[in-house]
Amino acid sequence: MSYFSRHVFFCLNQRDNGESSCASHGAQAGFDRCKSRIKAAGLSGPGQVRVNKAGCLDRCAGGPVAVVYPEAVWYTFVDNDDIDEIVDSHLLNGQIVERLLLPPSVGK
């Protein structure tokens, strides 16, 4: 067994040159919401879920983005309702949220 069962990485990158980035599309709010929901659900800590900040994940065109490992499921999100659905469906019940999946063709 690994130390955590899942990692959720949120891109919080802010581009200095004015180009669109996850940070300019509410990524920090999504990270904060996910972290608080995981903690409130009792899912944080060894053997459970770890929510991490990340730099650029190179999927800027779909931002904001988060990825869940070990499944390697890439999500885009808009608001707290989307984050809640990811937590409730995927992280609590193992069901991928199809409507929030970031298409594989979306890159930088």
Helix (H, G, I), strand (E, B) or coil at 11: strand
87-93 mean pLDDT: 97
Give the count of beta carbons closer than 10 Å to the beta carbon of residue 77. 26
Containing domain of residue 63, as a range? 6-100
108 domain residue, yes or no: no
Instruction: Give the pLDDT of residue 1.
Output: 63
**pLDDT at residue 108 in the model:** 77
Count CB neighbours of 7 within 10 A.
16
Task: Tell me how far apart the terminal alpha carbons of the chain are, to the nearest angstrom.
Answer: 34
What residues contact 3, with CB distance under 8 A and at least 6 apart?
Answer: 46, 47
Express each pLDDT in 13-62 by its tens digit. Answer: 998 887 788 999 999 999 999 999 999 999 999 999 999 999 999 998 88
Report the CATH number that the domain containing residue 90 is assigned in CATH. 3.40.30.10
Q: Number of folded domains in the chain? A: 1
